[in-house]
Chains A and B, each alone.
Chain A
């Protein structure tokens, strides 16, 4: 029925037992992302060591798709550079919007590539994207002062 493509065992595991859902103590930067239409609400916090994201965590509430997507993302961007993380977020959003479908290209996303089939569920695209959009917002904000 296609449901098993989305509600996979891996996704359900991230939803039930998220590793990165906690209040971080030493926050370098954070941002709250909201989906006004559905009420999903995620506050993403990052700790940076120079140019490296050495800790990522989130709090908030929402559906299994938004919560597990956030957990998968936090795992993926930990220990990455700001620029790598930004590229990964952009790639994920392109995948969810069906703009990038090539599996070899998507391999960079690791477990997050499992959310590819959300592209076929337009009503859920915003849920899957929320954490990644929130992360991009933080990273683009950090970029701006150096551009200025």
Chain B
């Protein structure tokens, strides 16, 4: 499968390595042995250097910006922007509809990305990949179509207290409509869903277990294989919200053992407005469509209609084909770097961020104490200072973090806080960003207390 033909570009980063030292900063956290390392992978994972920033036009344009909000949305590399533009310049036509060359090529472009996406998450077949608008829509589709099929009054749906609202409200609504019960798994003080919790929460009445792979607040990776195994033991299905994991971890739905997996393109360097829902073929075939209309039918009469085969059954109306091309380019970009490099660099960044924040006496890091268990996300609070004040004062120093409830109000309520700050990293961040964050937080403290 030639996906570069779809996207029309080779990621800029492939040609640009090795590597310009664009953002070297002095730091006591630097490992001496890395300094003269010429090995490419090690250079890429040395967070005192930044070989990736130049791939991202926004970060080149906003050269002084410290962007620490990638868990909300990542920046896009040039290759993704090119792929979207290329679609409109070279392929634009309505996919699936036309019988002419351009429409056939546009259709093929989408098919190519569907295959790329299937390979990216280890799905056995491209036609199990449904393109949606985002992870939220994917999860709503699962709750409505699959949920309504398998959940009945008296049944249980099991989620965790750390779900993003998009993997919480759809199940809350389903339970309210069907008379089922919503059961919450709660982690221990280190963010761990213990074996006992999993066993106790998922039982004979459970029909669906839907769990965040990585928490967007705590940053922890949840034990999906254990949860899926337990779900299957009791005859339940296991759905995974991969919005925060797909950008950082290699995904293999077969190894995870889950039955469905949802993620958004825009958090993994792709365009906004494209999401993915993968589900097992037999489930997709049994699920009714959520949206009906154009392109999702086999036949229509005055009184009835029959559905197209999967995945078209779930893709009513004209898709964002340019966005899909962008998703393909985003996956190509990640694969050109390699998951090992990506993961090592992002782990090092997140751990460095946790270390740095833990060194400030007035900062409380939220989530596990172990810095290496924060996948991309480091949430924290500053003693006695509201997160919005923190974010505003950081913003005045050109440092972008997220502050608020992070669409996880039940989690924050359970933890006894109203809101928190969140710094999140991606491969284009470096030690300089962490240093600026620390300096910025010292300024926050000084404004409220008149001293560092």
Contact = CB atoms under 8 A, between A and B. Distances in A.
Interface string B405-433: 10000000000001100000000000000
B392 interface: yes
A61 B391 CA distance: 17
B404 A37 contact: yes
A28 to B, nearest CB: 28
Interface residues of A, number: 20
B418 A2 contact: no
B396 interface: yes
Interface in B320-336: none
Interface in A60-88: 61-65
B438 interface: no
B393 A7 contact: yes
Nearest to B384: A16
12 contacts: A2-B396, A3-B392, A6-B392, A12-B447, A38-B404, A38-B419, A39-B418, A41-B418, A61-B418, A64-B448, A65-B389, A121-B392
B388 interface: yes
A3 B396 contact: yes
A-B pairs, 9 with minimum CB distance: A63-B386, A63-B388, A3-B396, A39-B418, A64-B389, A63-B389, A39-B419, A1-B396, A38-B404
A123 B387 CA distance: 13
Nearest to B450: A12
Of A1, A39, A41, A61, chain B has the most CB atoms within 10 Å of the CB of A39
B143 to A, nearest CB: 22
A3 B397 CA distance: 9
B396 A124 contact: no
Nearest to A64: B389
Interface of B: 385-389, 391-393, 395-397, 403-405, 418-419, 447-448
Contacts of A65: 388-389, 392
B386 A64 contact: yes
A138 interface: no
Contacts of B387: 63
A65 B385 CA distance: 11
A7 B386 CA distance: 13
Contacts of B386: 62-64
Contacts of B385: 64
Given A39-B419, A61-B418, 19 more contacts: A3-B396, A3-B447, A7-B389, A7-B447, A12-B448, A38-B403, A38-B404, A38-B405, A39-B404, A39-B405, A62-B386, A62-B388, A63-B387, A63-B389, A64-B389, A65-B388, A65-B392, A123-B395, A124-B392
A41 B413 CA distance: 14
A131 interface: no
A123 B392 CA distance: 8
Given A3-B447, A37-B404, A61-B418, A127 B388 contact: yes
